[in-house]
A and B are shown apart, each in its own frame.
Chain A
Amino acid sequence: MFDQILFILSAVITMGGALAVVFSNNLMHACVYLLASLFGVAGLYATLNADFLAATQLVVYAGGVVILMLFAIMLTGGVQSTVNKFGIVKVPGMGNAKTYSAAGLAAVVISFVLFKILKNAAAMPAKGQMAYESTVEKLGGLLVSDHVLAFELSSILLLGALVGAAVIARPRHIKDDV
């Protein structure tokens, strides 16, 4: 019963946060709601006994991504008004062919995903009491044995991003021609 209470709480936070992100007009508020939603996802992982994944979700999203988004929104100023100084609407109106086709494609993809999830859920036997076991050692073992290529590739990608950021942020010394 305790598991179910935790699951329902996490699910409500996740869904409520996600809906609030979509329906919020203020970009900054949307970011805060996104934080709540990501927290809910961490809770969902925790109810599935994926403790390492839950903690990673907190570290990566709550600590890194949301702060990064807040910074980006703050430094770019966000969208103050939808009309520019000439009275022309900056944000294109919804409801043209482009938006309909994008929405249709998204709906098809989401319905496939939903179908796949629901099909498995219907076939799944009633869940008993899951035995708790640590996932950290298994994950560590798998990362340096079966999935070592993916691990190394992603670390090279991150190293490249780090070097790239350093290069972009480096102050440029302008040569004195005189």
Chain B
Amino acid sequence: MNNTIVSYFLQFEEFQTVVTKLSEITGANATSLVAFVIFAVAAVVVLGALATVGGLGTYAERKISADLQMRQGPNRVGPYGILQFLADGVKMIMKEDIVPRHADKLTFNIAPLLCMLGVMATFAVLPFSSGFTMTDLDVGVFYLIGVSSLVGVGIFLGGYSSNSKWSMLGGMRGASQIISYEVPVTLSILAIVLLAGGMSFGTIVSAQGAWPHQWFVLHNPFTFIAFIVLFIGVLAETNRAPFDLPEAESELVSGYHTEFTGMRFGFFALAEYMEVFVVCGVVAALFLGGYNVPFGLGEGTFLMEKLHIPAIHAKGVGQLLQVGSFVSKTLALYYVVIWIRWTLPRLRVDHLMTLCWKYLTPIALFNLVGCALWMFFFHGQSIWQLLGHLGGGHGGGH
């Protein structure tokens, strides 16, 4: 059985007694029913939280860009304008829904939904904490790459179905960009899979530690380069500046979603902001130690042994700390993504493809081979462990 949110609850006796009580009341085995309810609640929580994060992403984007350009940014709705995203959402819903007369109705309708579907399906494996992961699939990273490629199909269909030159060009650019950058991204992820010895997020995160020197980003020089390649690649895959060519407003009006109005456009925007959160979370989990918390606080051993707090509370506190660790790393990366957008100018199309195929892909391949050699020669020890051995050897000699 996979490690899921249900298996986290199953380890406690209190939970078991609830299940047996329910079984007595209903007269049937209530295990699957309880599992279903837990999954449903967790799904609603994750979806609601991440949709809010996506909405707040638009607010953060405007506020941070205002900061970088010495402006005020939104400051009218709510304290510091923080409710601006709700006002924007209401505006989106109340707008007239226009479908161009010569648009391809079916694909026009499903394109925003495909984008949303591709992003939402990735939530299933996003490792918020060791317990609060919807399901820790054995092929977690691979699954994530697979379902997130649906976003590319959605963008392409959105561009094609609008029956407009700008949309068409934007959609073509979007699809070609996404499938091109999937190559260096996958190769960099593969380097980490090689180090961790597994494709599930649980394996990858638990192979790292809580402190920066135990993270994969500082494991060896190759992983550091892989981190940078992956970060550039996911910027391109989420169509963020400097790679926002699919919606280059100076040349393509607004790219693939030119003809979309109201909530259809809102879906594209929301999907983009949620995808940025997801890919930042993936980078944090793969390279920055994910949800690890120091001193065994995450597993609850510290609280249980030193303060004698019951297991269910100690582990609950640990899970909250883990979620905090994961989310703060992810949001720090989110800030960097927005920062880059308002700092760097947009690339040209041919430069974009050159960067991907002539620079990032060979570098990622080189990295993969480098990581494999490192694993072979140093038996998976990090550069700090090797330095420690060196220092220890000297100390022993004296």
Q: Which A residues lie at the B interface, using CB under 8 A?
A: 1-2, 26, 28-29, 32, 35, 51-52, 54-59, 62-64, 66-67, 70-71, 74, 132, 134-136
> A44 to nearest B CB, angstroms?
15
Among A59, A132, A136, chain B packs the most CB atoms within 10 A around the CB of: A59
> B152 to nearest A CB, angstroms?
6
Establish whether residues A35 and B175, one from each chain, have CB atoms under 8 Å apart when the complex forms. no
Establish whether residues B143 and A63, one from each chain, have CB atoms under 8 Å apart when the complex forms. no
In the complex, chain B residues 113-163 whose Cβ is within 8 Å of any chain A Cβ: 137-139, 142-143, 145-147, 149-150, 152-153, 156-157, 160-161
Establish whether residues B142 and A67, one from each chain, have CB atoms under 8 Å apart when the complex forms. no
Establish whether residues B146 and A51, one from each chain, have CB atoms under 8 Å apart when the complex forms. no
Chain A residues, Cβ within 8 Å of B107: 28-29, 32
Establish whether residues A67 and B160, one from each chain, have CB atoms under 8 Å apart when the complex forms. no
Establish whether residues A29 and B106, one from each chain, have CB atoms under 8 Å apart when the complex forms. yes
> A50 to nearest B CB, angstroms?
10
Establish whether residues A63 and B160, one from each chain, have CB atoms under 8 Å apart when the complex forms. no
Establish whether residues A70 and B1, one from each chain, have CB atoms under 8 Å apart when the complex forms. no
Establish whether residues B2 and A59, one from each chain, have CB atoms under 8 Å apart when the complex forms. no
Considering only CB atoms, which chain A residue lies closest to B1 in the complex? A132
Q: Which of B36, B106, B175 makes the CB contact (< 8 A) with A71?
A: B175
Among A26, A52, A57, chain B packs the most CB atoms within 10 A around the CB of: A52
Establish whether residues A55 and B157, one from each chain, have CB atoms under 8 Å apart when the complex forms. no
Establish whether residues A51 and B138, one from each chain, have CB atoms under 8 Å apart when the complex forms. yes
> B238 to nearest A CB, angstroms?
15
Q: Which B residues lie at the A interface, using CB under 8 A?
A: 1-2, 32, 36, 104, 106-107, 110, 137-139, 142-143, 145-147, 149-150, 152-153, 156-157, 160-161, 168, 172, 175-176, 179, 182, 198-199
Q: Which of B32, B104, B146, B172 makes the CB contact (< 8 A) with A58?
A: B146
In the complex, A67 Cα to B145 Cα: how many Å? 15
Establish whether residues B139 and A62, one from each chain, have CB atoms under 8 Å apart when the complex forms. no
> A10 to nearest B CB, angstroms?
15
Q: Which of A54, A56, A70, A134 makes the CB contact (< 8 A) with B153?
A: A70
Establish whether residues B142 and A52, one from each chain, have CB atoms under 8 Å apart when the complex forms. yes
In the complex, A135 Cα to B138 Cα: how many Å? 8
Establish whether residues B145 and A134, one from each chain, have CB atoms under 8 Å apart when the complex forms. no
Establish whether residues A32 and B110, one from each chain, have CB atoms under 8 Å apart when the complex forms. yes
Considering only CB atoms, which chain B residue lies closest to A29 in the complex? B106
Chain B residues, Cβ within 8 Å of A54: 139, 143
In the complex, A35 Cα to B2 Cα: how many Å? 27
In the complex, A2 Cα to B29 Cα: how many Å? 14
Beyond A26-B104, A134-B138, 11 additional contacts (C-beta under 8 Å) are A28-B104, A32-B110, A51-B139, A54-B143, A56-B146, A57-B146, A62-B147, A62-B149, A67-B152, A74-B160, A136-B199
Chain A residues, Cβ within 8 Å of B182: 63
Chain A residues, Cβ within 8 Å of B161: 28
- Ordered by A's residue number, 25 sampled pairs between the chains whose C-beta atoms are within 8 Å are A1-B32, A2-B32, A29-B104, A32-B107, A51-B139, A51-B143, A52-B139, A52-B142, A55-B137, A55-B139, A55-B146, A57-B146, A58-B147, A62-B147, A63-B145, A64-B149, A66-B153, A67-B153, A67-B179, A70-B156, A70-B160, A71-B156, A71-B175, A135-B138, A136-B199
In the complex, A117 Cα to B139 Cα: how many Å? 29
In the complex, A93 Cα to B78 Cα: how many Å? 67
Establish whether residues A67 and B1, one from each chain, have CB atoms under 8 Å apart when the complex forms. no
